[in-house]
Amino acid sequence: PEGISFDIVIAKLPLKRKFRTSFGEAYGTRVFLLSRADECIGIGEAPVDPYPLYSGEFVESVVEFAKKVLPEVKAQDTVSGMYNVLRKYRGNNFAKAMIEYSILTLVSCLTNTSLVKAVGGRPFALPVQESIGIVDSVDELLKWAEEAISWGARRLKVKIEPGWDVEPVKALSREFPGVPILADANGSFSPLKDSHWEILSEVAQYVNSIEQPFPPGDLVNSAKLSYEEAIEVTLDESVTSPNNVVELATLNEEMGSFLSFNLKPPRMGGLMESLKSVELAQQYDIPLFIGGSLETAVGRSLNMVVASTVSKNLEPSDFSPDQYFYERSLAKDPFDIECGFVRLRDGIGVMFDIDIDYLMSRAIEKISM
């Protein structure tokens, strides 16, 4: 609409500690979209890296997508008009989610209505899991896990890859008996290698579930692993649309598998697609948790809006606050954990006081539109 202005901001945010997955080390580079109208400010975040490792999107692709579609978005008079612009393009889910949330948080402020209320959600205390990166030694792994247990982590999600597989999960299950363990491979095992099936079968002995064992396109082999090892397999990269949730239900029914998923709102293309996915998951009784991609408080708040709509089968989710990963939170009133739970908020806009000065002090590029 008239009078709305946007700033695309690329910021480099220093991490408190290295976070390594099977793709390599996280960069801490993030794209933000600030929107302004009247006295209000909105913001969205695309938690992408400079390289297309987790998904096909990366910093420049998000920026280019935003540059290309924002003029068209601005020309719309209604929120649904803006949706139609975003919906008509394929892919670019992280970029779409960023644009959508920037507008929705702005509208939330302009209309003084919280997004949690608008989507029919409710604030509650959500169990949090810690995501432990790939480290150089078991000692280092146990130290990280101990820290997480000390703030009450409800589950340990540990990154694995071929070569760092059985050893870490064996050590965690020995040191922390009774604490649920999820091993996240980020698609690093190949369904074409017998040796990889053997490793995963052994990993399955020590964990409660395995996340994204095989590359994104593959659901059938995940179902096969789940059935053969009688273990929960939770999909991350493989689930990018509500329809994928229905496919999980179909596989569970036809293959006797236990597939669940990790719902990452940016990966689904934003709030609306996420809400549909939650609805389908609840309808088909597919367990889920809300996943993170090292978002700052901005992205975490979108995830929180989605979480507020889940009423059953919600597993411990990626909600350790941004100050656990980054040197500094983007919130002046950061989200916090109490005994392993994060209290969902129900406020206006992003539901926290954004530290814009800090964000801008870390900006490496700003494009005004």
* Contacts with ligand OSB, 102-131, as mask; x by CB under 6 A: -----------------------------x
For residue 266, how many other CB atoms are within 10 A of its CB? Answer: 30
Task: Please tell me whether residue 299 adopts helix, strand or coil conformation.
Answer: helix
- Number of residues lying near ligand OSB (CB under 6 A): 12
| Least separation in angstroms between CB 132 and Mg ion | 12
Nearest to ligand OSB of 73, 299 (CB atom): 299
What secondary structure letter does DSSP report for 263? Answer: E
Backbone dihedral region of 120: left (phi > 0), alpha (psi from -120 to 50 degrees) or beta? left
301 is a site residue for ligand OSB (CB under 6 A) = no
Q: Is-contact 119 308, C-beta < 8 A?
A: yes
Among positions 57, 229, 232, 236, the unique one binding Mg ion when judged by CB under 5 A: 236
- The residues, ordered by sequence, that sit 6+ positions from 200 with a Cβ below 8 Å of its Cβ are 165, 185, 189, 210, 213, 225, 229
Tell me if 115 sits within 8 A of 2, measured CB to CB. no
Does 318 interact with Mg ion (rule: CB under 5 A)? Answer: no
- Contact between 22 and ligand OSB per CB under 6 A: no
Residue least distant from ligand OSB (Cβ): 292
Binding residue (CB under 6 A) for ligand OSB from 54, 65, 101, 197: 54
As measured in angstroms, the least distance from the Cβ of 26 to ligand OSB is 6
The token pair at 97 is 């989610």
Residues numbered 223 to 242 that lie near ligand OSB (CB under 6 A) are 236
Which element (helix H / strand E) includes 289? Answer: strand 288-290
Question: Residue 331 is encoded by which pair of tokens?
Answer: 């919130």
Residue 297's contacts (CB-CB under 8 Å, 6 or more residues apart) are 321, 322, 329, 330, 331, 334, 335, 350, 352, 354
What CA–CA distance (Å, rounded) separates 194 from 212? 17
Q: Which stretch binds Mg ion (CB under 5 A): 8-16, 84-92, 171-179, 230-238?
A: 230-238
Q: Site for ligand OSB (CB under 6 A): which residue of 292, 321, 340, 349?
A: 292
* DSSP for 178-234, written as a single string: TS-EEEE-TT-S-TT-HHHHHHHHHHTTT-SEEE--S-TT-SHHHHHHHHHHT-EEE
- 1 or 215: whose CB is closer to ligand OSB? 215
Rounded CA separation 277/263 (Å): 8
**Of these, 93, 108, 186, 296, which contacts ligand OSB (CB under 6 A)?**
186
Q: Is 318 one of the binding residues for ligand OSB (CB under 6 A)?
A: yes
Query: Which residues inside 151-190 make contact with Mg ion, applying CB under 5 A?
Result: 184
CA distance 191 to 200: 10
Coarse DSSP helix, strand, coil percentages of the chain, rounded to the nearest 5 percent: 40, 20, 40
The residue among 257 and 293 lying less far from Mg ion, judged by its C-beta, is 293
Q: Does 57 bind ligand OSB (CB under 6 A)?
A: no
Q: Is 294 in the site for ligand OSB (CB under 6 A)?
A: yes
Residues numbered 186 to 225 that lie near Mg ion (CB under 5 A) are: 211
Neighbours of 67 (CB within 10 A): 13
- Tell me: does residue 293 bind ligand OSB (CB under 6 A): yes
Asked if 187 interacts with ligand OSB (CB under 6 A), we say no
Tell me: does residue 322 bind ligand OSB (CB under 6 A): no
Residue 316 binds what, of ligand OSB, Mg ion, none (CB under 5 to 8 Å, by partner type)?
none
Please list every residue from 145 through 184 that binds ligand OSB, using CB under 6 A: 184
Binding site for Mg ion (CB under 5 A): 184, 211, 236
Binding site for ligand OSB (CB under 6 A): 21, 54, 131, 184, 186, 236, 291-294, 318, 320
